[in-house]
Amino acid sequence: MKSKTAFCAAVLLIASAVTLSGCGNNARPGQTAQNARVNVQNTVRGVDGTDNGKAAHLAQLARGVRGVNDANCVVFGRFAIVGIDVDPKMDRSRVGTIKYAVAEAFRKDPYGANAMVTADIDLAQRIREISADVQRGRPVAGFAEELADIVGRIMPNVGNPNTPVGQK
């Protein structure tokens, strides 16, 4: 009786082992794992990753929008200020449409997500001068006050959208 029980236990153990090992995932030749990790880089071809490279890239994107005669950009940290030159005789609504088109082009670009666009002639000239100085090697930090003034003119009322009305 003992041998019969031992034999049944051995058969049951072997059958269980064969059944459970059949549930394993066998890799076949030419088959790739579906859960393999993919490394995605959020970069743009042709941009060297420096602030000057990003500024040149954003200025080139802005110049690609119809109605923009020229564009200059200054990048500081995660933010960028882009001054666009348009026809001075153009009416304000058309200028607003062009600014919106430039902003849309930037929104689709990883470096343009935090870019501010202005078509104001004075601000665009100041941005052009700062951009030229930065390209000559002067640090952006030297223009911090002027950049803050430009940002203040572009976006005068920046507040925290999560702050309830009446609270400061």
pLDDT beyond 50 at 104: yes
CA dist 22 to 11, 25, 27, 29, 124, Å?
Answer: 17, 8, 13, 18, 70
Chain position carrying tokens 């890799």: 27
From CA 161, how far away is CA 38, in angstroms rounded?
36
CA dist 47 to 57, 71, 164, Å?
Answer: 7, 17, 41
From CA 102, how far away is CA 100, in angstroms rounded?
5
Sign of CA dihedral 38, 44, 50, 54: negative
- List, for residues 135-164, the tens digit of each pLDDT value: 888 877 777 778 888 888 887 554 445 445
- List, for residues 26-66, the tens digit of each pLDDT value: 556 655 555 555 444 444 444 445 778 888 999 999 999 99
Measured at the alpha carbon of residue 144, what is the angle toward residues 79 and 74, in degrees to the nearest 5? 40
Mean pLDDT of all residues in 5-33: 61
Query: pTM value?
Result: 0.61
CA atoms within 13 A on the CB side of 151: 17
Which among 122, 119, 138, 121 is positioned nearest to 130, based on CA atoms? Answer: 138
From CA 95, how far away is CA 116, in angstroms rounded?
15
Taken in order of first residue, the domains within the chain and their CATH numbers are: 51-154 (3.30.70.1350)
